[in-house]
Each structure stands twice: as structure tokens, then as C-alpha cells.
Amino acid sequence: MVANNKDISSFLKTHGLAGTIIRKQVLSHLWGDGVALTQKEIEEKLPPETDRVTLYRTLRLFTEKGIVHKIVLNGETQKFKIAGRFRKSDHAHFYCTKCHKLLCMPQLDVDLSDLPEGFQFSSARLVVEGICDTCSQKNQTQTQ
């Protein structure tokens, strides 16, 4: 639980969603900059009696509403992340393979001038992997 209950409740209300227990729990775990979790990872953080269908529906709802983004890493794992101030999931992301944070990087946006003649752009998805600034500064062994 990173953010307090008030914050999350009003956040849900802002987006026209009822403030149910599971939704608050899910949001509280996704709260914080760079936090990105798999559905499984979220499931493991919730009380064990939580129904997997409800979690599935919650995440689907959040994704539809644009509250969270689904991002695919290395063509395999799908992570969920609070959308923050970026409405569209179009912008670039940076995934740190050390601390497993997923950061928005709109400054990395694709240079469309390199698009060959005749090609029309519609959308782009870019995920860059590497080591983030925090992790490369601390050269000490660092877990999580």
C-alpha cells in the first residue's frame, strides 16, 4: 500500500468507477513511478482468496478506461502500469532489467522522417530495454 486510501478512492471516482475493495487493492500495488507488474505478480500481492476472474475483469476495465497501460516486454511478458498523465499508450517505454521498473520515455519518440516515401504512419510502439540511471549509478550489487 503505497498511496493512501483517500487518494485512490478519489482517483477511482474521478474516472467514474466505483471504489470497490479489489480495485483499490490493485491500484495501490500499481501506484508509484515506474511500477509495472504482471497479472500474476498482482495476483500474488492480493489476498489469496481473491478471485482471478475479478482481477482479470478489473485489469480489463482499467485498460479500457485508459487508467493503466498494457506493455509487452521482449515479445513475451505483459505488464500493467498506471498510465499517469500519458493518455495514449503510444509513447516509448524504457524497461530496466535490473530494478524491473518501466518508465515512460516520450522523449524517445520515433523519428518518422526516416519512414520511406509513401508510407503512412498511424501508431507506434517502442520498448527499449537496458539499465536505468539509478541502477547504473549504484554499481553495488542490488536486488529488486
Query: Which segment (19-27, 99-107, 111-119, 130-138) binds DNA by CB under 7 A?
Result: 19-27
Report d(CA 97, CA 109) in Å as an integer. 21
Residue 54, binding choice from DNA, its own copies, none, Cβ under 5 to 8 Å by partner class? DNA
> Whose Cβ is closer to its own copies: residue 78's or residue 142's?
78
Residue 11, binding choice from its own copies, DNA, none, Cβ under 5 to 8 Å by partner class? none
Residue 132 sits in the site that holds its own copies (CB under 8 A): yes
Residue 18 sits in the site that holds DNA (CB under 7 A): yes
C-alpha cell of residue 76 = 513475451
Binding mask 91-110 for its own copies (x = CB under 8 A): ---x--x-------x-xx-x
**Helix (H) or strand (E) segment spanning residue 45:** helix 39-45
User: Which residues 34-53 are close enough to bind DNA by CB under 7 A?
Assistant: 39-40, 49-53
Residue 23 sits in the site that holds DNA (CB under 7 A): yes
Helices 21-30 and 52-65: crossing angle in degrees, nearest 10, is 70
Please name which of 85, 38, 83 lies closest in space to residue 63, comparing C-alpha atoms: 83
Which one-letter amino acid corresponds to residue 84?
A: G
Please name which of 55, 67, 76, 136 lies closest in space to residue 101, comparing C-alpha atoms: 136
